[in-house]
Amino acid sequence: MRIVLATDAWAPQTNGVVTTLKATAETLMRFGHAVRVLSPQNLACIPCPSYPEIRLAVNPGAYVARELKAFRPHAIHIATEGTLGLAVRRYCRHRRVPFTTSYHTRYPEYLAARWPIPLAVSYAWLRRFHGAASRTFVSSHSLEKELGGHGFGHLHLWRRGVDLRRFRPLEAAHPELEGLPRPIMAYVGRLAVEKNLDAFLGLELPGTKVVIGDGPARAALAARHPRARFTGFRHGEALATLLAGCDVLVFPSLTDTFGLAMIEALACGVPVAAFPVPGPLDVIEPGVTGVLDTDLARAVRGALCLDRRVCAERAATFSWDAATTQFLCGLAPIPAPLRATLGASRSSVIIGRLAARLTARRLTE
Protein backbone atom coordinates (compact mmCIF):
# COMPACT_ATOMS: atom_id res chain seq x y z
CA MET A 1 0.00 0.00 0.00
CA ARG A 2 1.31 3.47 -0.93
CA ILE A 3 0.50 6.01 1.78
CA VAL A 4 1.02 9.78 1.81
CA LEU A 5 1.54 11.61 5.12
CA ALA A 6 1.11 15.37 4.64
CA THR A 7 2.40 17.46 7.53
CA ASP A 8 3.49 21.03 8.23
CA ALA A 9 5.39 19.73 11.29
CA TRP A 10 8.52 17.74 10.48
CA ALA A 11 12.25 17.54 11.20
CA PRO A 12 14.21 19.34 12.53
CA GLN A 13 11.31 20.35 14.81
CA THR A 14 11.05 18.68 18.21
CA ASN A 15 7.50 18.04 19.37
CA GLY A 16 5.01 15.24 19.91
CA VAL A 17 3.52 15.54 16.41
CA VAL A 18 6.87 15.03 14.69
CA THR A 19 7.77 12.13 17.01
CA THR A 20 4.41 10.48 16.33
CA LEU A 21 4.57 10.86 12.56
CA LYS A 22 8.17 9.67 12.31
CA ALA A 23 7.44 6.59 14.41
CA THR A 24 4.29 5.88 12.39
CA ALA A 25 6.11 6.21 9.06
CA GLU A 26 8.90 3.91 10.25
CA THR A 27 6.43 1.32 11.51
CA LEU A 28 4.37 1.45 8.31
CA MET A 29 7.50 0.77 6.26
CA ARG A 30 8.43 -2.07 8.59
CA PHE A 31 4.94 -3.48 7.93
CA GLY A 32 5.77 -3.46 4.21
CA HIS A 33 4.00 -0.27 3.10
CA ALA A 34 5.52 2.53 1.01
CA VAL A 35 5.32 5.96 2.64
CA ARG A 36 5.80 9.40 1.10
CA VAL A 37 6.01 12.32 3.55
CA LEU A 38 4.96 15.69 2.15
CA SER A 39 6.54 18.36 4.37
CA PRO A 40 7.86 21.93 4.07
CA GLN A 41 11.46 20.73 3.89
CA ASN A 42 13.30 22.29 0.93
CA LEU A 43 10.34 24.60 0.19
CA ALA A 44 10.14 28.37 0.57
CA CYS A 45 8.72 28.95 4.05
CA ILE A 46 7.77 31.57 6.60
CA PRO A 47 7.77 31.08 10.38
CA CYS A 48 4.45 30.24 12.00
CA PRO A 49 3.26 33.15 14.18
CA SER A 50 4.05 32.47 17.89
CA TYR A 51 5.58 29.07 16.96
CA PRO A 52 8.56 29.96 14.72
CA GLU A 53 9.99 26.43 14.88
CA ILE A 54 7.16 25.42 12.55
CA ARG A 55 7.87 26.58 9.01
CA LEU A 56 4.82 27.21 6.83
CA ALA A 57 5.33 26.46 3.15
CA VAL A 58 4.60 29.34 0.76
CA ASN A 59 2.40 28.32 -2.19
CA PRO A 60 3.04 24.56 -1.94
CA GLY A 61 0.36 23.67 -4.51
CA ALA A 62 2.75 22.80 -7.35
CA TYR A 63 4.87 20.65 -5.03
CA VAL A 64 1.78 18.80 -3.79
CA ALA A 65 0.52 18.14 -7.33
CA ARG A 66 3.91 16.92 -8.48
CA GLU A 67 4.39 14.55 -5.55
CA LEU A 68 0.89 13.06 -5.67
CA LYS A 69 1.10 12.57 -9.42
CA ALA A 70 4.44 10.76 -9.13
CA PHE A 71 3.51 8.61 -6.12
CA ARG A 72 -0.14 7.77 -6.96
CA PRO A 73 -0.98 6.82 -3.36
CA HIS A 74 -3.60 4.33 -2.23
CA ALA A 75 -4.40 6.55 0.78
CA ILE A 76 -3.73 10.14 1.86
CA HIS A 77 -3.55 11.34 5.45
CA ILE A 78 -3.32 15.05 6.32
CA ALA A 79 -1.76 15.41 9.77
CA THR A 80 -1.80 19.19 10.25
CA GLU A 81 -3.91 22.21 9.35
CA GLY A 82 -1.13 24.47 8.02
CA THR A 83 -0.50 25.70 4.49
CA LEU A 84 0.74 22.33 3.24
CA GLY A 85 -2.18 20.49 4.80
CA LEU A 86 -4.54 22.99 3.22
CA ALA A 87 -2.92 22.51 -0.19
CA VAL A 88 -3.32 18.71 -0.05
CA ARG A 89 -6.92 19.09 1.17
CA ARG A 90 -7.70 21.48 -1.70
CA TYR A 91 -6.10 19.18 -4.27
CA CYS A 92 -8.07 16.15 -3.05
CA ARG A 93 -11.37 18.00 -2.84
CA HIS A 94 -11.08 19.29 -6.41
CA ARG A 95 -10.67 15.68 -7.55
CA ARG A 96 -13.13 14.19 -5.05
CA VAL A 97 -10.38 11.96 -3.71
CA PRO A 98 -11.04 10.66 -0.16
CA PHE A 99 -8.55 11.52 2.56
CA THR A 100 -8.26 11.40 6.33
CA THR A 101 -7.01 13.98 8.84
CA SER A 102 -5.81 14.00 12.43
CA TYR A 103 -6.37 16.42 15.30
CA HIS A 104 -3.07 16.76 17.15
CA THR A 105 -3.25 20.21 18.73
CA ARG A 106 -5.88 22.26 20.55
CA TYR A 107 -5.28 25.34 18.40
CA PRO A 108 -8.37 27.21 19.68
CA GLU A 109 -7.02 27.14 23.23
CA TYR A 110 -3.47 27.90 22.09
CA LEU A 111 -4.62 30.90 20.06
CA ALA A 112 -6.85 32.18 22.84
CA ALA A 113 -3.86 32.13 25.20
CA ARG A 114 -2.04 34.57 22.92
CA TRP A 115 -4.64 36.68 21.13
CA PRO A 116 -8.30 37.62 21.72
CA ILE A 117 -9.66 35.06 19.26
CA PRO A 118 -12.95 33.52 20.45
CA LEU A 119 -12.88 29.74 20.80
CA ALA A 120 -16.07 29.50 18.73
CA VAL A 121 -14.36 31.11 15.73
CA SER A 122 -11.34 28.78 15.84
CA TYR A 123 -13.47 25.67 16.34
CA ALA A 124 -15.71 26.66 13.43
CA TRP A 125 -12.70 26.87 11.11
CA LEU A 126 -11.29 23.55 12.32
CA ARG A 127 -14.70 21.90 12.02
CA ARG A 128 -14.82 23.02 8.38
CA PHE A 129 -11.25 21.81 7.70
CA HIS A 130 -11.78 18.34 9.18
CA GLY A 131 -15.40 18.04 8.04
CA ALA A 132 -14.25 17.32 4.48
CA ALA A 133 -12.29 14.25 5.58
CA SER A 134 -13.60 10.70 5.53
CA ARG A 135 -12.42 10.37 9.14
CA THR A 136 -10.55 12.50 11.66
CA PHE A 137 -8.09 10.65 13.88
CA VAL A 138 -7.98 11.51 17.60
CA SER A 139 -5.56 10.26 20.25
CA SER A 140 -7.96 9.49 23.10
CA HIS A 141 -11.56 8.83 24.07
CA SER A 142 -11.60 12.09 26.05
CA LEU A 143 -10.64 14.07 22.96
CA GLU A 144 -13.18 12.14 20.90
CA LYS A 145 -15.93 13.12 23.33
CA GLU A 146 -14.75 16.72 23.53
CA LEU A 147 -14.60 17.23 19.75
CA GLY A 148 -17.96 15.51 19.37
CA GLY A 149 -19.36 18.20 21.67
CA HIS A 150 -17.95 20.82 19.31
CA GLY A 151 -19.77 19.29 16.34
CA PHE A 152 -16.95 17.17 14.85
CA GLY A 153 -18.01 13.90 13.26
CA HIS A 154 -16.49 10.72 11.79
CA LEU A 155 -13.88 10.45 14.56
CA HIS A 156 -11.46 7.51 14.72
CA LEU A 157 -9.26 6.53 17.66
CA TRP A 158 -5.51 6.53 16.93
CA ARG A 159 -3.50 6.14 20.13
CA ARG A 160 0.22 6.74 20.58
CA GLY A 161 3.18 4.50 21.28
CA VAL A 162 6.64 4.55 22.80
CA ASP A 163 9.97 3.09 21.70
CA LEU A 164 10.46 0.53 24.46
CA ARG A 165 13.98 -0.31 23.29
CA ARG A 166 15.09 3.25 23.97
CA PHE A 167 12.87 4.33 26.87
CA ARG A 168 13.58 1.81 29.61
CA PRO A 169 14.45 1.72 33.32
CA LEU A 170 18.13 2.29 34.11
CA GLU A 171 19.98 1.45 37.31
CA ALA A 172 22.88 3.92 37.06
CA ALA A 173 22.24 7.58 37.91
CA HIS A 174 22.66 10.03 35.06
CA PRO A 175 25.90 12.06 35.43
CA GLU A 176 24.04 15.37 35.07
CA LEU A 177 21.82 14.50 38.01
CA GLU A 178 24.53 13.41 40.43
CA GLY A 179 24.65 15.52 43.58
CA LEU A 180 21.30 17.21 42.96
CA PRO A 181 18.89 17.25 45.91
CA ARG A 182 16.26 14.55 45.61
CA PRO A 183 13.53 14.06 44.58
CA ILE A 184 14.22 15.16 41.02
CA MET A 185 11.03 16.40 39.37
CA ALA A 186 11.20 16.64 35.58
CA TYR A 187 9.21 18.34 32.85
CA VAL A 188 9.72 17.36 29.21
CA GLY A 189 8.39 19.41 26.32
CA ARG A 190 8.10 22.79 24.70
CA LEU A 191 8.42 25.88 26.88
CA ALA A 192 5.43 27.98 25.92
CA VAL A 193 2.51 29.72 27.57
CA GLU A 194 0.00 26.95 26.84
CA LYS A 195 2.08 24.38 28.77
CA ASN A 196 1.18 25.98 32.14
CA LEU A 197 4.75 25.61 33.42
CA ASP A 198 4.43 28.14 36.23
CA ALA A 199 2.07 25.68 37.94
CA PHE A 200 5.00 23.25 38.15
CA LEU A 201 7.93 25.60 38.68
CA GLY A 202 6.08 27.54 41.36
CA LEU A 203 5.55 24.49 43.59
CA GLU A 204 7.06 24.76 47.05
CA LEU A 205 8.54 21.28 47.34
CA PRO A 206 11.90 19.91 48.43
CA GLY A 207 14.18 18.58 45.72
CA THR A 208 15.23 19.75 42.25
CA LYS A 209 13.11 20.81 39.27
CA VAL A 210 14.62 19.87 35.90
CA VAL A 211 13.14 21.31 32.71
CA ILE A 212 14.02 19.32 29.57
CA GLY A 213 13.04 21.30 26.49
CA ASP A 214 13.10 24.74 24.97
CA GLY A 215 10.80 27.34 23.50
CA PRO A 216 9.82 31.01 23.49
CA ALA A 217 9.03 31.12 27.23
CA ARG A 218 12.41 29.82 28.39
CA ALA A 219 14.04 33.16 29.24
CA ALA A 220 11.01 34.43 31.18
CA LEU A 221 10.61 31.12 33.05
CA ALA A 222 14.31 31.00 33.96
CA ALA A 223 14.10 34.56 35.27
CA ARG A 224 11.06 33.78 37.43
CA HIS A 225 12.38 30.43 38.65
CA PRO A 226 16.18 30.69 38.99
CA ARG A 227 16.47 27.52 41.11
CA ALA A 228 15.15 25.29 38.31
CA ARG A 229 17.60 23.59 35.95
CA PHE A 230 17.00 24.14 32.23
CA THR A 231 18.74 21.59 30.01
CA GLY A 232 17.41 22.52 26.57
CA PHE A 233 16.08 19.89 24.22
CA ARG A 234 17.37 16.34 24.45
CA HIS A 235 16.75 13.68 21.84
CA GLY A 236 16.79 9.92 21.52
CA GLU A 237 19.06 8.08 23.93
CA ALA A 238 20.18 11.32 25.60
CA LEU A 239 16.57 12.12 26.53
CA ALA A 240 15.77 8.57 27.61
CA THR A 241 18.75 8.22 29.94
CA LEU A 242 18.22 11.65 31.51
CA LEU A 243 14.51 11.01 32.03
CA ALA A 244 15.16 7.57 33.53
CA GLY A 245 17.31 9.20 36.22
CA CYS A 246 14.46 11.38 37.50
CA ASP A 247 12.02 10.52 40.27
CA VAL A 248 8.76 11.89 38.87
CA LEU A 249 7.52 13.50 35.66
CA VAL A 250 5.34 16.53 36.30
CA PHE A 251 2.88 17.22 33.47
CA PRO A 252 1.19 20.58 34.21
CA SER A 253 -0.48 21.14 30.83
CA LEU A 254 -4.24 21.60 30.71
CA THR A 255 -4.50 21.62 26.90
CA ASP A 256 -2.48 18.71 25.43
CA THR A 257 -4.40 16.19 23.37
CA PHE A 258 -2.34 13.24 24.62
CA GLY A 259 1.08 13.95 26.16
CA LEU A 260 3.66 11.63 24.63
CA ALA A 261 6.18 12.51 27.37
CA MET A 262 4.00 10.72 29.92
CA ILE A 263 4.30 7.29 28.35
CA GLU A 264 7.99 7.86 27.63
CA ALA A 265 8.46 8.56 31.37
CA LEU A 266 6.43 5.51 32.37
CA ALA A 267 8.52 3.31 30.08
CA CYS A 268 11.57 4.54 32.03
CA GLY A 269 9.84 3.58 35.27
CA VAL A 270 9.11 7.19 36.20
CA PRO A 271 5.62 7.89 37.63
CA VAL A 272 3.61 10.93 36.57
CA ALA A 273 1.98 13.78 38.48
CA ALA A 274 -0.63 15.76 36.56
CA PHE A 275 -3.96 17.51 36.69
CA PRO A 276 -7.12 15.40 36.13
CA VAL A 277 -7.72 16.64 32.57
CA PRO A 278 -7.97 15.01 29.12
CA GLY A 279 -4.61 13.57 28.19
CA PRO A 280 -3.52 12.46 31.66
CA LEU A 281 -6.97 10.95 32.24
CA ASP A 282 -6.46 8.77 29.15
CA VAL A 283 -2.89 7.70 29.94
CA ILE A 284 -2.47 7.46 33.72
CA GLU A 285 -3.86 4.75 35.99
CA PRO A 286 -4.49 6.74 39.17
CA GLY A 287 -2.56 5.36 42.10
CA VAL A 288 -0.72 2.90 39.84
CA THR A 289 1.28 4.81 37.22
CA GLY A 290 0.67 8.30 38.51
CA VAL A 291 -1.47 10.63 40.58
CA LEU A 292 -4.00 13.09 39.16
CA ASP A 293 -5.03 15.89 41.48
CA THR A 294 -6.19 19.49 41.22
CA ASP A 295 -3.46 20.15 43.82
CA LEU A 296 -0.31 19.50 41.77
CA ALA A 297 1.96 19.43 44.84
CA ARG A 298 -0.19 16.68 46.34
CA ALA A 299 -0.02 14.80 43.03
CA VAL A 300 3.79 14.99 43.08
CA ARG A 301 4.04 13.71 46.65
CA GLY A 302 1.68 10.84 45.85
CA ALA A 303 3.45 9.86 42.63
CA LEU A 304 6.79 9.60 44.44
CA CYS A 305 5.36 6.69 46.47
CA LEU A 306 4.46 4.56 43.44
CA ASP A 307 6.23 1.43 42.22
CA ARG A 308 8.56 2.29 39.31
CA ARG A 309 8.61 -1.33 38.14
CA VAL A 310 4.83 -1.34 37.69
CA CYS A 311 5.03 1.94 35.73
CA ALA A 312 7.42 0.33 33.24
CA GLU A 313 5.24 -2.77 32.94
CA ARG A 314 2.13 -0.72 32.18
CA ALA A 315 3.96 1.33 29.55
CA ALA A 316 4.58 -1.83 27.55
CA THR A 317 0.94 -1.72 26.40
CA PHE A 318 1.68 1.48 24.42
CA SER A 319 3.44 -0.02 21.40
CA TRP A 320 3.91 1.69 18.04
CA ASP A 321 2.83 -1.53 16.32
CA ALA A 322 -0.59 -1.35 17.99
CA ALA A 323 -0.90 2.39 17.35
CA THR A 324 0.05 2.02 13.68
CA THR A 325 -2.45 -0.80 13.22
CA GLN A 326 -5.15 1.62 14.42
CA PHE A 327 -3.83 4.18 11.95
CA LEU A 328 -4.08 1.72 9.06
CA CYS A 329 -7.62 0.72 10.01
CA GLY A 330 -8.78 4.32 9.79
CA LEU A 331 -7.37 5.19 6.37
CA ALA A 332 -9.73 5.85 3.45
CA PRO A 333 -8.61 3.80 0.41
CA ILE A 334 -8.58 5.70 -2.89
CA PRO A 335 -10.41 3.75 -5.64
CA ALA A 336 -8.31 3.05 -8.74
CA PRO A 337 -10.33 5.38 -11.05
CA LEU A 338 -9.78 8.26 -8.62
CA ARG A 339 -6.07 7.50 -8.30
CA ALA A 340 -5.83 8.19 -12.01
CA THR A 341 -7.14 11.73 -11.48
CA LEU A 342 -4.19 12.55 -9.21
CA GLY A 343 -2.10 13.03 -12.32
CA ALA A 344 -4.66 15.11 -14.18
CA SER A 345 -4.89 18.88 -14.30
CA ARG A 346 -7.81 20.57 -12.60
CA SER A 347 -9.31 21.54 -15.95
CA SER A 348 -9.10 17.93 -17.16
CA VAL A 349 -10.88 16.77 -14.03
CA ILE A 350 -13.67 19.30 -14.55
CA ILE A 351 -14.05 18.33 -18.23
CA GLY A 352 -14.15 14.66 -17.24
CA ARG A 353 -16.92 15.32 -14.72
CA LEU A 354 -18.96 17.25 -17.29
CA ALA A 355 -18.54 14.46 -19.83
CA ALA A 356 -19.66 11.88 -17.27
CA ARG A 357 -22.74 13.95 -16.42
CA LEU A 358 -23.68 14.40 -20.08
CA THR A 359 -23.29 10.67 -20.68
CA ALA A 360 -25.47 9.86 -17.69
CA ARG A 361 -28.12 12.34 -18.83
CA ARG A 362 -28.28 10.83 -22.34
CA LEU A 363 -28.66 7.35 -20.92
CA THR A 364 -31.70 8.48 -18.93
CA GLU A 365 -33.39 10.29 -21.84
pLDDT tens across 23-39, in order? 999 999 999 999 999 99
| Average of per-residue pLDDT across 118-129 | 96
pLDDT at position 353 is 56
Q: What radius of gyration do the chain's Cα atoms show? A: 22
| Average of per-residue pLDDT across 225-234 | 97
pLDDT at position 115 is 86
pLDDT tens across 170-213, in order? 988 799 999 999 999 999 999 999 999 999 999 999 999 999 99
Burial class (CB in 10 A: 0-12, 13-18, 19+), 364: exposed
| Average of per-residue pLDDT across 282-291 | 97
96 C-beta neighbours (distance < 10 Å), count: 10
Contacting residues for 131 by C-beta, under 8 A, at least 6 apart: 152, 153
Residues of the chain with pLDDT > 70, as a percent, come to 94
Strand partners, 210: 186, 229
* pLDDT band (50, 70, 90) for residue 116: confident
pLDDT at position 12 is 86
pLDDT at position 365 is 57
Please name each of the domains of the chain with its CATH number: 2-161+323-356 (3.40.50.2000), 175-318 (3.40.50.2000)
What pTM value is reported for the model? 0.89
138 in Cβ contact with 157 (< 8 Å): yes
| Average of per-residue pLDDT across 321-350 | 86
Is the bond leading into 12 cis (omega within 30 degrees of zero)? yes
Do the strands 184-188 and 100-102 form a parallel or antiparallel pair, or are they unpaired? unpaired
pLDDT at position 104 is 93
